[in-house]
Amino acid sequence: MDLRTKPSFHSEAFTLPPGWYVVLESSEVARKKPLSFTRFGLPLVAWRNSDKKVIIQSNICPHRGAKLSLGSINGDRIVCPFHGFEFSQDGHCAFIPEIQKPAPGLKIKRYETFEFAGWIWIKWQDDECKELKPNWFKQAPERLYTYRFSELWPVHFTRSVENQLDFSHLPFVHRTSIGRFSKVGQHPKAELSDDGIKFYFGDPEKSFVELLFPNIWLNYISPKYMLSLAFAPVDDSHTKLYLQGHRAHLAWPPLSWLANYFDRAVNKWVLSQDRRVVTSQEPQNSLLASEALMKSDELIRHFRKWLLPK
């Protein structure tokens, strides 16, 4: 099949590989208010059951297609706003007001979820990834979560991730910020595996950058400061970026507030430099591109192999 004709996430031609993907931030999902959102090009709804566990399901009512997110939560059920059909957390229709009975054969798709450290993951393509566990960095739990923010970028998932593997843009895109002292033509040491991509210029015990498949990027700046960035695939032309700063120093509130304020501003500035160029890339889906890749693009090549294994 020709990829160029069907670039949609849920088409047969390009579906993101199976795995646990970060899709939301915990604070986005409230107990009583269903959240409407799009990931993998699909309309989804997120809500919390009576144990506060996050439930993520298809947002389309199988009766006549209304958005379930416009409805309400009744105990451990979501209620459609149109004719009151109630769906349990496992997706079965538990009650139809017109017949006063359940219809267990009527179902909405439910996705397995996992919540940790302020992020929510879903198991994507669960039939094919039974053994997969959420991929998370081991250094995080004992750190203080200092600040977080998110940005919706009008770019394809591939372009947003590849940008964070592209170290050779530093002296150009970021010449006024983090790339000020970067040298053109310098190549890092890289470790490429089935789980991700790790690269570093000096001692990896002190600092490294790592992409954990499928969608988390870490910048381990020092043993006391780290950034993590998740790329939530929205649709063919949008990706939501969730950034967290983790600091193991400057814990005293006035100082940490000041440091957080400064770091957030710097990170937003650096990302705005990236965004300006990445949103200009053609075609949007890098898997459709025919490009003149260089030695410095080796990490991007590896990422593309993971996306589309032969």
Interface positions with ligand FES (CB under 6 A): 61, 63-64, 66, 80, 82-83, 85
How many CA atoms lie less than 13 Å away from 22 in the CB half-sphere?
28
Q: How far is the CB of 294 from ligand FES (least distance, A)?
A: 53
Q: How far is the CB of 113 from ligand FES (least distance, A)?
A: 23
**By rule CB under 5 A, what string of x and - marks binding of each residue 222-261 to Fe ion?**
----------------------------------------
End-to-end CA distance of the chain: 14
Q: How far is CA 193 from the centre of its chain?
A: 20
Which among Fe ion, ligand FES, none contacts residue 61 (Cβ within 5 to 8 A by kind)? ligand FES
Q: How far is the CB of 273 from Fe ion (least distance, A)?
A: 6
Nearer to Fe ion, 44 or 197 (CB): 197
Nearer to ligand FES, 19 or 62 (CB): 62
| Binding of residue 274 to Fe ion (CB under 5 A) | yes
* Piece of the chain touching Fe ion by CB under 5 A; list 21-29, 37-45, 239-247, 270-278: 270-278
* Piece of the chain touching Fe ion by CB under 5 A; list 16-24, 143-151, 268-276, 280-288: 268-276
Give the span between the Cα atoms of 52 and 212, in whole angstroms: 28
Q: Is the dihedral of CA 48, 53, 56, 62 positive or negative?
A: negative
Give the span between the Cα atoms of 143 and 40, in whole angstroms: 31
**Residue 47, Cβ density class (10 Å: 0-12 exposed, 13-18 middle, ≥19 buried):** buried
Which among ligand FES, Fe ion, none contacts residue 180 (Cβ within 5 to 8 A by kind)? none
Query: CB neighbours of 298 closer than 8 A, spacing ≥ 6?
Result: 190, 192
The CA radius of gyration of the chain, in Å to the nearest whole number, is 21
Give the span between the Cα atoms of 300 and 278, in whole angstroms: 14
Which among ligand FES, Fe ion, none contacts residue 274 (Cβ within 5 to 8 A by kind)? Fe ion
Give the interface with Fe ion as residue ranges (CB under 5 A).
Answer: 274
